[in-house]
């Protein structure tokens, strides 16, 4: 029974200071009820954030990758771009930051699939807590990771010559909009992770959304695309978000070659985000509850 006998010194090292009887066996105190929705969400979100901060490969993936591609776009492709009134870099960086939301989603899909593969979800789902809160915690944490990634990418953008033309408030609003967009898209990637079931499969599946970033106004003007492609590029969430973010950081939509008001583009972008959440969050939750 040595394994179950209390070693006083061990307890002095910990913050155990209850009034338990030290002579008896170790007591594992029975919990009262279970964690509420918010507590559950924060617990699992805390775990995802710790994992990100403590895993060098994730930090590299989430930080360096975006910066590297931004440099490539800026200096390799950028030389050939001759837009109108503002330099290409001022158009590129907002588009690129929005595009990064979708690239960052790969990590979400792979992380979710990995948790499934390695039995971590089974552990969580066998606990007396809301399964919706477990998924929501993941979505919130991954949006937090995204905030970091986007901030780094924007920072690199400033280093390579990007300047905002609007007010700082508008720029902050643009950043907030990117996070809302990120939170909306995270649900799609959670669904992909749950459907794929393996980290590799999830990565492959999330490649499927890459065309959305390229067939959009993010990197090149839609007007330069073939005629049949333009309606697709003009009517999809990435373009909607890029238009809104550009309007805000340039302070004037016409500088980005856009004809409507900033408010219009922001509303369209928010509508897309809401739509994505309304469609994919219920699918993710349903899938998680039964998978």
The token pair at 278 is: 């309304």
Q: How many of the other CB atoms lie within 10 Å of CB of 113? A: 27
Q: What is the spatial distance between Cα 164 and Cα 134, in angstroms, rounded to a whole number?
A: 38
Q: Does 211 bind another protein (CB under 8 A)?
A: no
Q: Does 46 bind another protein (CB under 8 A)?
A: yes
What DSSP character marks residue 29?
Answer: P
Segment contacting another protein by CB under 8 A, of 75-83, 96-104, 120-128, 139-147: 120-128
Q: Which of 50, 214, 235, 263 binds another protein (CB under 8 A)?
A: 50
Please say which residue, 133 or 154, places its beta carbon nearer to another protein. Answer: 133
Q: Which of 19, 21, 82, 128 binds another protein (CB under 8 A)?
A: 128
For the bound state, the minimum distance from the C-beta of residue 10 to another protein, rounded and expressed in Å, comes to 5
Q: What are phi and psi of 72, to 5 degrees?
A: -60, -50
Q: Does 12 bind another protein (CB under 8 A)?
A: no
- Give CA separation, 253 vs 43, 90, 266, in Å: 42, 13, 11
Classify 216 in phi/psi space as left (phi over 0), alpha (psi -120 to 50) or beta: beta
State the sign of the Cα–Cα–Cα–Cα dihedral 71, 217, 146, 196.
Answer: negative
Rounded to a whole number, what is the largest CA-CA distance in the chain?
A: 82
For the bound state, the minimum distance from the C-beta of residue 217 to another protein, rounded and expressed in Å, comes to 38
Total of residues contacting another protein (CB under 8 A): 45
Please say which residue, 44 or 242, places its beta carbon nearer to another protein. Answer: 44
Q: Does 24 bind another protein (CB under 8 A)?
A: no
Q: Does 140 bind another protein (CB under 8 A)?
A: no
Q: What is the spatial distance between Cα 239 and Cα 241, in angstroms, rounded to a whole number?
A: 5
Please say which residue, 39 or 172, places its beta carbon nearer to another protein. Answer: 39
Q: Residue 120: which residues within 8 A CB-CB, separation 6 or more?
A: 114
Please say which residue, 28 or 208, places its beta carbon nearer to another protein. Answer: 28
Q: Does 85 bind another protein (CB under 8 A)?
A: no
User: Where along the sequence are the contacts to another protein (CB under 8 A)?
Assistant: 1, 3-4, 6-7, 10-11, 13-16, 18, 25-35, 39-40, 43-44, 46-47, 50-51, 54-55, 118-120, 122-129, 290
């Amino acid at each position: 029974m040595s394994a179950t006998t209390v070693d006083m010194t061990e307890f002095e090292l910990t913050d155990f200071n209850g009034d338990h009887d030290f002579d008896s066996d170790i007591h594992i105190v029975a919990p009262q009820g279970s964690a509420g929705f918010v507590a559950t969400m924060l617990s699992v979100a805390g775990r995802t954030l710790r994992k990100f901060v403590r895993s060098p490969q994730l930090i590299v993936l989430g930080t360096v990758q975006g910066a590297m591609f931004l440099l490539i776009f800026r200096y390799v492709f950028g030389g050939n771009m001759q837009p109108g009134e503002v330099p290409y870099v001022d158009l590129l960086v907002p588009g690129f930051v929005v595009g990064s939301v979708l690239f960052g989603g790969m990590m979400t899909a792979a992380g979710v699939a990995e948790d499934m593969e390695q039995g971590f979800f089974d552990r969580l789902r066998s606990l007396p807590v809301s399964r919706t809160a477990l998924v929501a915690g993941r979505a919130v944490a991954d949006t937090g990771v995204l905030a970091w990634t986007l901030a780094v990418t924007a920072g690199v953008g400033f280093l390579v010559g990007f300047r905002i033309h609007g007010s700082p408030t508008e720029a902050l609003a643009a950043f907030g909009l990117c996070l809302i967009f990120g939170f909306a898209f995270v649900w799609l990637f959670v669904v992909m992770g749950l459907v794929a079931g393996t980290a590799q499969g999830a990565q492959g599946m999330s490649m499927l959304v890459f065309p959305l970033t390229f067939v959009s106004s993010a990197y090149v003007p839609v007007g330069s695309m073939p005629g049949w492609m333009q309606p697709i590029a003009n009517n999809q969430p990435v373009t909607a978000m890029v238009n809104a973010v550009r309007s805000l950081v340039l302070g004037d939509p016409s500088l980005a070659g856009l004809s409507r008001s900033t408010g219009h583009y922001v509303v369209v972008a928010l509508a897309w985000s809401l739509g994505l959440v309304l469609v994919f969050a219920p699918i993710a939750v349903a899938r998680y509850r039964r998978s």
